[in-house]
Chains A and B, each alone.
Chain A
Amino acid sequence: MRSVILIIFIIIIFSTLLYSQEESHKDTILFQVQWFPQSQFAGYIMAYEKGFYKDEGINVKLIFSDGSNSPIDELLKGNIDFCTAWLSQTITSKAEGRKLVNICQVLQKSSLMLIAKKSSNIFKPEDINGKRIGLWKGDFTIQPNAFIKKYDIKCETVQQSYNIHGFLANAWDVESAMYYNEYHKIILAGINEDELVTFFFSDYDLNFPEDGIYCTEDTYYSRTELCRKIFQASIKGWEYAFNFPEETLDKVMQYCDEFHMQTNRSHQKWMLNVIESSIKYKTGDSLQDWGKLKKEDYEKVGEILKNQEFIKNIPPFEDFFKEFQYEE
């Protein structure tokens, strides 16, 4: 009789262990960022590496993208739990009826810009008339097109690749660039800043806040606490990254190496600095103010999307952005 009880006891213990293991696997939170590892995602990398997600009691797995699939699509398919995405893209999705919510607007300032060489005689937007302009696909074209429209520029557009070589080889005169990425790559190709002319969209009333953290409405409503934990740990990760940039760069470079990224530390350092200024745009070091999407920014992006007929109606801000408060 005693042995029967013992066997039953053992069975109960094992099944509990098995069940809890299954649960913990199930509890792995998949968090996908838009691109390969780089300083653009340093905050999440450091939150993961320093155990801030774990401290919140969640088991986050960071997933990087290769550009072949959109994290938003993955999110809506239910393949992942959280992702980062551009505001313009998610407003469009939301307007199209996709059920997603922004739980943290990380980057406040648009880094997208146009760059021209002074040698191609471009000094102001009108000078782009008659020139060849390189554009990426999708959301990256929204601001440039608005810019072209704004200044009534007549120019040839080409789809540029995700490098600067065509621009450097003068295959096109104007390059779409991220300030934290391509702009600096051009500098690292030996062109001096004073040899370039830059058009920051943020300076032309086209400031699109970029990376934000998204989840589905379902996730938000059913697991609000989890969303808060993601928010909390991610902001903490960013804070750490800015406070300990060298350690952060070590980690970022380690990730880059693992992904065989053809990048270098100088470049990642530049990127981290630009990202920092974008996160701290208008808020400074006040952590309480980080990650907030401002309604006017939202409205502005929505307005432009509407004007460009990407969307018909701007979804209500309250449905789109769910605010969390950072806790010290």
Chain B
Amino acid sequence: MKNKKIKRPILWKLVLVIGIPLFVIYSVILVVNYFQYKDSYLDQMKEYLKELTSHNAADLNSQFIQIAEQPKSIATMLGTLKKPDVKELYSLISKTVESNPSIYGITVAFEPYSFNKKIELFSPYIYKDNDKILQVDLAENYNYLHSDWYLIPELLNDFYWTEPYFDEGGGNIFMCTYSFPIRKDGKFMGIVTADISLEDLKSRMKNIKILAGYTFIISRYGTYIYHPNEKDIMRETIFSKAEMYDFPAMRKFGRDMISGKKGVESFDDPITNSKQWLVYSPISSTEWTFAAIVPEKEILEKVNEMVIHQLSIMIIGLCVIILVIIWAAYKITNPIRKLAGLAEQLATGDLTVQMTNIKGRDEIHELAMVFNKMVIDLKHYIHDMTEATKAREAVESELRIARNIQESLLPRVFPPFPDRKEFNLYAKIIPAKEVAGDFYDFFFLDDNQLALIIADVSGKGVSAGLFMAVTRTLIKTVCQKDVSPSEVLRKANYILCQDNDACMFTTLFLAIYNVKSGKVSYANAGHNYPVILSQNGEWRMLDSFNNTALGIIEDQKYKVGETTINIDDCFVLYTDGVTEATSPEKELYGEERFIKKLIKNLSLPVDGIINKINEDLAEFQQGTQFDDITLMILRRNI
């Protein structure tokens, strides 16, 4: 059984019915989600990148604001001093430079002759060089009056962040300078500056990561202040790149950037021939712009990552569900398979099988319990059946003996009186059960008087057979020469009624036939009326002088009838097994059909007639014989 291949196991049905629709639903959800959330995720990414750049820009901004505070406060202080002392001035600048790690150097540049009437230009500059604090008077190296850091704030009369430049003769590095004008009583006295080293900015910027992209800073005029490609710093502007690559969109982005806007733009980069995202945010204090370029591929990868993430969760979920289905199916089908195996074992006759190890309280458990009970019941039933069969076989064997006895009781040899030519006689019983309740008998009372008896005992089987035997013996005993048939029946009835606790009875017809004269005297104890048929087809029924069956009323008296059988007439005696035979369609054989059949076969010898009738009956009943069939025919020859 276990090796038998089941073509469509429940397991696969469950997987197909639940797993596949689930997979389809999952896939549809996934596709819908992908398209629905792709755009929103891209928007989210834009917002995220904007936030990130804003945050970094704000960080840098706060640093620059802090730097700008120093020149501002020095300028304000100098504006209030009557005449600043050189030493004090140097010490003030030194302290400020030392205490501000973000500041590379500070100078206080005075208007001609405004610091000292004898000195035209004076600009003490304190700066850091490899952790050393150095000082120099810029006036000794160059005329600062036309430098951007001096001239522009002077003319603007306001603070100014310079574009990046190489400070030759000063710090000798690439730097940007914050300048703040000194005013004393409304009069311009000079400029205080603070420098930031582009190297410092560079190292700071290198630590800022915006996804896998790169960051850069452009000045308010689009000049690269920081760019990972160092050659671009101070050389290129975002607009020179736009021009070089003939890329007008970049110029537009650049103008948006230097106008202090925040933004995210995606564009086809002609340099890398790929789609990129530009995200930027202003550094308000310097009017610079912090920006990042992120490959769109990376952003889409993130979107795909999300989808793959979702997909893996779904697939894992699906696998778990399918495993659960397989597990559940196994849990259900395993006991069923086991039961099937046991059932097959049972079918081979093994009644010891029992379904063990049943867990749970479900239908399977119920089925197993019922199976177990069925096996036990079957065992009992088969045991009982065996016993019953044994008993029946015993009875049947007894019945066979009884039948043999019964058969031996009835005259079986035909013709019974071969030396008597006056008549022909034939009789036959076809019992419905092993032991018949019908019987017939005939014997000579003297040379001429022949007694003919036919009877039908109530009930069937052994009891009926026994009653028949008693009745037959009784009749044979009582029926003597010169005793009228009615007297025979009266006596026999009386005797049978004694101690008849079983309340059995028998119908019986007794005729005494004079073989010489053809005269018949008869008495009837509730039996069917015999028929007398002539060769010409005429017939009559001996339907008078009928009385109750034997064994019922103790002092019953019986009447005697007389008739004569002519030569060649047939005297037909029979039991109700003939006329009351029924077809499978519940149709009665009936007297009419019986008589017609007799007439039809009248030309045959008596045994032939009986055989024909029996054949017809067998055909009519089609194996549904309920009652004994007994026929006896006497034909007068002389």
Residue numbers of A with Cβ under 8 A of B are 132, 158-161, 163-166, 168-172, 187-190, 192, 260-267, 269-270
Chain B residues in 8 Å Cβ range of A262: 166, 234-235
A262 to B219 CA separation, bound complex (whole angstroms): 15
A192, B242: Cα distance in complex, Å: 13
Nearest CB of A to B241, in Å: 8
How many Å from the CB of A66 to the closest CB on chain B? 10
Contact A171 B146 (CB under 8 A): no
Q: Which of A160, A163, A170, A189 contacts B237 (CB 8 A)?
A: A189
In the docked arrangement, what's the CA distance between A71 and B162, Å?
A: 31
Bound-complex Cα distance A219 to B237 (A): 44
Can you pick out 18 interface pairs between chain A and chain B where the beta carbons lie within 8 Å of each other?
A158-B155, A159-B146, A164-B221, A165-B221, A171-B152, A188-B222, A188-B243, A189-B223, A190-B239, A190-B258, A260-B166, A262-B234, A263-B235, A264-B235, A264-B240, A266-B240, A267-B240, A269-B244
Asked if B254 is at the interface of the complex by the 8 Å CB criterion, the answer is: yes
In the bound complex, residues from chain A placing their C-beta under 8 Å from that of B255 are 190, 192
- Known contacts A171-B151, A171-B152, A172-B155; A264 and B162 CB within 8 A of each other: no
Known: A190-B221, A190-B255. A166 touches B239 (CB 8 A): no
Apart from the given pairs A188-B222, A262-B234, A266-B241, 13 other A-B contacts in the complex at a CB distance below 8 Å: A158-B155, A165-B152, A165-B162, A165-B221, A166-B151, A169-B152, A171-B156, A188-B237, A188-B239, A188-B243, A190-B258, A265-B240, A270-B243
Q: How far is the CA of A229 from the CA of B520 in the complex (A)?
A: 184
Which residue of chain A is the closest to B221 with respect to CB atoms?
Answer: A189
The reply to whether B235 and A158 contact each other, CB–CB distance below 8 Å, is no
Shortest Cβ distance from B259 into A: residue: A190
Q: Tell me the minimal C-beta distance from A271 to chain B in angstroms.
A: 12
Q: 9 shortest A-B CB distances, which residue pairs?
A: A189-B221, A171-B155, A266-B240, A266-B243, A266-B244, A264-B240, A171-B152, A188-B239, A262-B234
Q: How far does the alpha carbon of A86 sit from the alpha carbon of B276 in the complex, in Å?
A: 47
Given A159-B146, A161-B148, A263-B235, A188 contacting B240 (CB threshold 8 A): yes
B536 at the interface (CB under 8 A from A): no
Instruction: Determine the main DSSP class of B at the interface with A.
Output: helix
By the criterion CB–CB under 8 Å, are B162 and A166 in contact? no
Question: Once the chains are docked, how many angstroms separate the CA of A189 from the CA of B155?
Answer: 21
CB-CB under 8 A from A172, the residues of chain B are 155
Give the residue of A132, A159, A170, A189 whose beta carbon is less than 8 angstroms from that of B239: A189
B236 at interface, CB cutoff 8 A: yes
Q: Is B203 an interface residue (CB 8 A)?
A: no
Most chain B beta carbons < 10 A, residue from A159, A164, A190, A192: A190
CA distance A132 to B156 in the complex (A): 11
Q: Which residues of A contact B251 (CB under 8 A)?
A: 190
Q: Is the interface of A mostly helix, strand, loop or mixed?
A: loop
Min Cβ gap B199→A in Å is: 16
| Chain B residues within an 8 Å CB radius of A267 | 240
CB distance from A246 to the nearest CB of B (A): 12
- The answer for the CA separation of A163 and B221 in the assembled complex, in Å, is 12
Cβ-based interface call for B628 (8 A): no
| B166 neighbours in A (Cβ, 8 Å) | 260, 262
Indicate whether B434 reaches chain A with its CB closer than 8 angstroms: no
Check if B163 is an interface residue, CB within 8 A of chain A: yes
Q: B160 near A: Cβ within 8 Å?
A: yes
In chain B, positions 215-237 with a C-beta closer than 8 Å to chain A are 220-223, 234-237
The residue that A165 contacts in the complex, of B148, B236, B254, B258, with Cβ under 8 A, is B148
Q: Are A264 and B155 in contact (CB under 8 A)?
A: no
**CB <8 Å contact, B151 and A158:** yes
- Cβ B254 vs Cβ A190 within 8 A: yes
Residues of B within 8 A of A264 (CB): 235-237, 240, 244
B636 to chain A, nearest CB (A): 154
Residues of chain A with a CB closer than 8 A to B220's CB: 168
Give the nearest-CB partner of B232 in chain A. A264
Q: Which residues of A contact B237 (CB under 8 A)?
A: 188-190, 264
**Which residue on chain B has the smallest CB distance to residue A169?**
B152
Docked pose: A169 CA to B153 CA in angstroms = 9
- Asked if B147 lies at the interface with its beta carbon under 8 angstroms from chain A, I say yes
The smallest beta-carbon distance between B615 and chain A, in angstroms, is 130
CA distance A161 to B236 in the complex (A): 20
What is the bound-complex CA distance between A160 and B146, given in angstroms?
7
Q: Could you tell me the distance between the alpha carbons of A7 and B571 in the complex, rounded to whole angstroms? A: 189
* Structural contact, B155 and A166, CB atoms closer than 8 A: yes
How many angstroms between the C-alpha atoms of A166 and B156 in the bound complex?
A: 9
User: Contact at A161–B147, with CB atoms within 8 Å?
Assistant: yes
B223 CB contacts on chain A under 8 angstroms: 189
CB nearest to A187 among chain B residues: B239
Nearest Cβ on chain A to B156's Cβ, whole angstroms:
5
B-chain residues with CB within 8 Å of residue A269 when the two chains form the complex: 244
A265 CA / B242 CA spacing, docked (Å): 12
Contact A165 B163 (CB under 8 A): yes
Q: CB-CB < 8 A to B151: which residues of A?
A: 158, 161, 166, 171
- In the complex where A165-B221, A169-B152, A169-B160 touch, is A265 in contact with B244 (Cβ < 8 A)? yes
Report the minimum CB–CB distance from B454 to chain A (whole Å). Answer: 142
State in angstroms the CA–CA spacing of A160 and B160 once bound together. 16
Q: Which residues of A contact B163 (CB under 8 A)?
A: 163, 165
CB-CB nearest in chain B for A267: B240
Of residues 79 through 104 on chain B, the ones whose CB sits less than 8 Å from some CB of chain A are: none
Q: How far is the CA of A165 from the CA of B148 in the complex (A)?
A: 7
A163-B151 Cα distance, complex, nearest whole Å: 12
Give A190 to B287 CA distance when docked, in angstroms: 14
Centre residue among B146, B163, B221 by max chain A CB count within 10 A: B221
Q: What's the least CB distance linking B490 to chain A, in Å?
A: 153
Q: Are the C-beta atoms of B239 and A163 separated by less than 8 Å? A: no
Which of chain B's residues have a CB closer than 8 A to the CB of A266? 240-241, 243-244
- Within 8 Å by CB of B221, from A132, A168, A261, A270, lies A168
